[in-house]
Amino acid sequence: MTVKERYARVIEWFSASMPVAETELHYENPYQLLVAVILSAQCTDKRVNLITPPLFEAYPTPQALAAASVEEIFGYIKSCSYPNNKSRSLSGMAKKLVEDFGGEVPSDLDSLTSLPGVGRKTANVIMSVVYNKATMAVDTHVFRVSERIGLTTNSKTPLATEKALVKHIPEGLIPKAHHWLILHGRYVCKARRPDCLNCGLTSVCRYYQKNG
């Protein structure tokens, strides 16, 4: 099976089995999504969704968050992973967002990654989800699932995976494909034990052909 054929089959299956694929983070505007994605690093979406309602009630705008102390922010997010670092990142992000961008979440990679706590993956999520740009955020699920299925081969870095996926997935599908791979990795193609019996991709999956 060629790479092109594998991508075509995978896209066909996801299109039929998961026509709606969206982020599981709860948010109402770009600012809230940016905060949620920063908090989600090495933390479950379920945990983030428990943390954000009181946080957003206390700091409904970037201006409100920028005015808060790191210690105050910590009090709201202490149950997530790495709360000390994330408190500093959120404080710095909000201040820079207000000072440099008038409180508006930017839509380009360079501007987004200039914000504290925002790396390429987070920036790609914002550009994809908020601005519907053809950017592929590669988290641990996307990295693992792409390699297992065979969408990538011996990919060493998230950037290499990102480039391969963007090259082979039609531009208009890239924002949705990001969520296809995340959700598949979260609920079916799990890290420790992939649930191959309940996966519709076994006929094209390199991992299954080798281990099934």
User: How do the pLDDT tens digits run along the chain, 212 residues long?
Assistant: 888 999 999 999 999 999 999 999 999 999 999 999 999 988 999 999 999 999 999 999 999 999 999 999 999 999 999 999 999 999 999 999 999 999 999 999 999 999 999 999 999 999 999 999 999 999 999 999 999 999 999 999 999 999 999 999 999 999 999 999 999 999 999 999 999 999 999 999 999 999 86
Cα-based angle 100, 51, 145 (whole degrees, multiple of 5): 85
**Known binding-site residue numbers for [4Fe-4S] cluster:** 189, 196, 199, 205
| Catalytically annotated residue among 86, 96, 139, 176 | 139
Domain 3-21+135-211 of CATH type 1.10.1670.10:
yes
Residues of the chain with CATH 1.10.1670.10: 3-21+135-211
Q: Does residue 108 have an active-site annotation?
A: no
What's the rounded Cα separation, in Å, for the pair 175 and 70?
Answer: 33
Q: Does residue 110 have an active-site annotation?
A: no
| Catalytically annotated residue among 86, 96, 121, 176 | 121
**Known binding-site residue numbers:** 189, 196, 199, 205
- Separation of first and last alpha carbons in the chain: 17
Kindly report the pTM of this predicted structure. 0.90
What's the CATH number for 30-129? 1.10.340.30
Residue whose structure tokens are 């914002």: 126
Residues of the chain with CATH 1.10.340.30: 30-129
